[in-house]
Structure 1
């Protein structure tokens, strides 16, 4: 019943004390697992936020900017516009209480112990992806793709990215001033903050960042921020490590032209030079900076924006400094979060390396062993056999092991057109089928002898062509009985079949 401001104040104080007792009771229980620890931390965090919001309401009530609290206290003392009447104020309050209970006859006192137990068993909803394993690992795949597909990134493996993403000082400063890098850093910082808030809800991130900001401001004033030292001279010339193209590797303009127009344009823009013209003109203009400082170059080589920035008091330069400071501060916060999550980052990399070390065959074999062990422990023999890989059945009525399946190449399919497009699985079964009845029957239907010459032949057209070539080759050495078959007469004379037949027909023999 909170119809009055004083009742609201009393209920708020009671709510704060009740939540404080629940927090103390919850923290006295030691979590058994990491999941229980996260649930406990988030429960405590939610109750702390409720206490803070309730306290802010109490502060507003006590400040009494609209004098509502002051008027209500005066009314309780019987002070009205016509004078002081204590009894009238008492009976008015009593009437209000009776009216409330008449409207709510089922109102009852809530048992605090029951509510405490319900709050202590509450399981807050915490969003984690499958890759994060309930806060055990970091999921950096989206940021990794953004990194390797950017101008400031390099094509590296995911495990190597987990080592270098917390080291932004290795990226050239000129590339950090691009909008693409700023968006990447914003996404990276947002991702780490969100992960840290889910895994460490009791940490005061605002206090941590305020300390980081104070240290950063001091380092920035003293030019001690790593990767952001003031190495740009007044002449505007960038050091070699910050230029897009290292001219020390090129000895002629022709060699520099092989870089391409896009790279040349990017390098010229970085130095404040004109980026237009043909490929050769760009290369010649950039090659001038190899041995000549920028301050000694003719003004005709510089872009108009460079001269304009000098005339308007260097406003773009100030804007660039502010942009640099914002990006550097984001890097400092990101590094601090990486230090706080260092153990998680190490575990993430170890998990990635472990997954990369396991081959597909080993993972499938391990899963197959687990399935076979589960089938062995099962007492229900009529239970349906789990065979997602469609492995052949063994002598025991169960799928054969995956390593045996791979050893015999049973995943390879061989079709034979002579056998009516019948499929044979595995090299061993394919070689054996040439001597079996199905292939022999197909060869007889084609009128071709099933000899070793036709092994490995599965196409009908290829078998016919080979049989035709064999017949042509055998035709040169074919035995001709009319000329080569020998006959002997009574006198012992030898004739071939044709001559002997002709003499016999004439009656000479």
Structure 2
């Protein structure tokens, strides 16, 4: 039986009051641990959404645009204006309905105690670890494999992804760059909604101020020209062409230097050495605004050369890009602490073995499961043995400390007396930069022959002995090792060949 409009109004008010009581009770409950706090936030967010739905329903009913509520109130009086006739008629309808359907079940609401224990399923990737860290591997690969990006490691990208001013203007106005920023921005917003369900994107973006007014006034950092002055930005790469008397003199600078100067002026930087020098020499007597447009790279021509429609289109695209950049910079500031935690997590993960990572994940799962009954997070950390701290800020178990030999100290004189705790750290340091620099200072190649040698005297004597051998002496081309920035190890000959070809 369809409920009346007044009954719907009463039920909506009752639901609003119930949700308000439930939210207050949920906030009064004692929650511990990151996972429980996150679940509480999503529960409250779900109830707030339902509260908004019921409130909007009540607003529509009280506005009564179709007059249905007014008619229903008038119908309660009946024909005799006493209301008894309408009451008994309504009572008869209710009894007849229940007589026809005697086996209807009453659906009861979920008890408040069970509602407080509800766990909301929030999707997180493995790298996000339940919302503790950022997972930006997709955006990192898009950055390093794009024309506007550069080669860097993941940790460096985490710290510098908001430094958009380092990218050239020509690349910042490209469509792939805007798509990259848009994807990065959508991930930041998604991470904020999943980790801070009670937060508001509007409050975060309110820190940007009136962006349109700032853009019109040319006060957006890095976009004072509102996207119009795309040529001649990089003064450090510019060449004083007036100091050269001929194209031949410009050729003496080399193709790479000419390419940088042409790109800084917004001119095409391709072609042979002669073509580049001729193109750059044109700017000696002719201003950029008077050059033929065919000499400029795509989208890099000065505003005076372009048409009014093209200037308007470029300015609109530049404004969209500048807004995306401003939002990305804002998120890098909002998530500053999360980025720092992610950096530490990634560095620790890179230095751990697979078995250690699995063990830590299992330990973390056990601690999260026991967080409801434990108050150890706020307790004083008792560490009389001065054991190293784990990922949770607590001392690692003593058996693990002994297993990895972290109580053993190894000193390397070649590294300047540096101490290394544990056999694993000691063996690994022979390939690290500190030991390599020490060997290079002694004039000794850092090969496997000198593994475990930590005293300068022993290293020099061994090197002298190797050089004095008449048969099977040391061959630098085959035995001297070089390492590139990615950690790949080559012998001297292979390394020089790859470097000469520009592959490393």
Normalising by structure 1, we get a TM-score of 0.61
Give the Cα separation in 1 of the matches to 2:351 and 2:284. Answer: 47
1:85 deviates by 7.8
- Which residue of the other structure, out of 125, 140, 143, is the alignment partner of 2:121? 125
Give the Cα separation in 2 of the matches to 1:322 and 1:175. Answer: 16
Give the Cα separation in 1 of the matches to 2:340 and 2:132. Answer: 10
Count of aligned pairs: 362
Residue-by-residue CA offset, 1:417-450 (whole Å, 9 max, x unaligned): xxxxxxxxxxxxxxxxxxxxxxxxxxxxxxxxxx
**Equivalence for 1:230:** 225
- Which residue of the other structure, out of 92, 96, 99, is the alignment partner of 1:95? 92
Give the Cα separation in 2 of the matches to 1:252 and 1:61. Answer: 80
Residue-by-residue CA offset, 1:332-369 (whole Å, 9 max, x unaligned): 222222222221111000111112334x4xx5589799
Give the Cα separation in 1 of the matches to 2:299 and 2:345. Answer: 50
1:4 deviates by 1.1
Mapped contact 2:133–2:339 kept (Cα < 8 A): yes
1:231 deviates by 8.2
1:118 deviates by 2.2
Is 1:44 the equivalent of 2:44? yes
- Which residue of the other structure, out of 167, 186, 190, is the alignment partner of 2:186? 190
Instruction: Judge which range, 97-106 or 29-38, deviates more.
Output: 97-106
- Which consecutive residues of structure 2, in runs of 5 or more, have no partner in the other structure? 363-402, 406-423, 425-504
- Root-mean-square deviation over aligned CA pairs: 4.2
Is 1:341 the equivalent of 2:335? yes
Is 1:54 the equivalent of 2:54? yes
1:302 deviates by 6.4
Superposed counterparts of 1:80-479, under 5 Å: 86-107=83-104, 115-209=111-205, 211-230=206-225, 237-240=231-234, 252-253=250-251, 257=255, 267=263, 271=266, 280-281=274-275, 283-289=277-283, 293-295=287-289, 297=291, 301=295, 314-358=308-352, 360=353, 364=355
Mapped contact 1:212–1:332 kept (Cα < 8 A): no
Q: 1:100 to 1:330 in 2, by over 3 A?
A: farther
Give the Cα separation in 2 of the matches to 1:248 and 1:125. Answer: 63
Q: 1:241 to 1:353 in 2, by over 3 A?
A: farther
Mapped contact 1:172–1:241 kept (Cα < 8 A): no
Normalising by structure 2, we get a TM-score of 0.61
Kindly indicate whether structure 1 or structure 2 has the higher relative contact order, using CA contacts under 8 Å at least 6 residues apart.
2
DSSP-derived class of the 1:252 partner: helix
Give the Cα separation in 1 of the matches to 2:347 and 2:36. Answer: 28
Give the Cα separation in 2 of the matches to 1:290 and 1:115. Answer: 83
User: Which has the greater radius of gyration?
Assistant: 1
**Equivalence for 2:3:** 3
1:212 deviates by 3.5
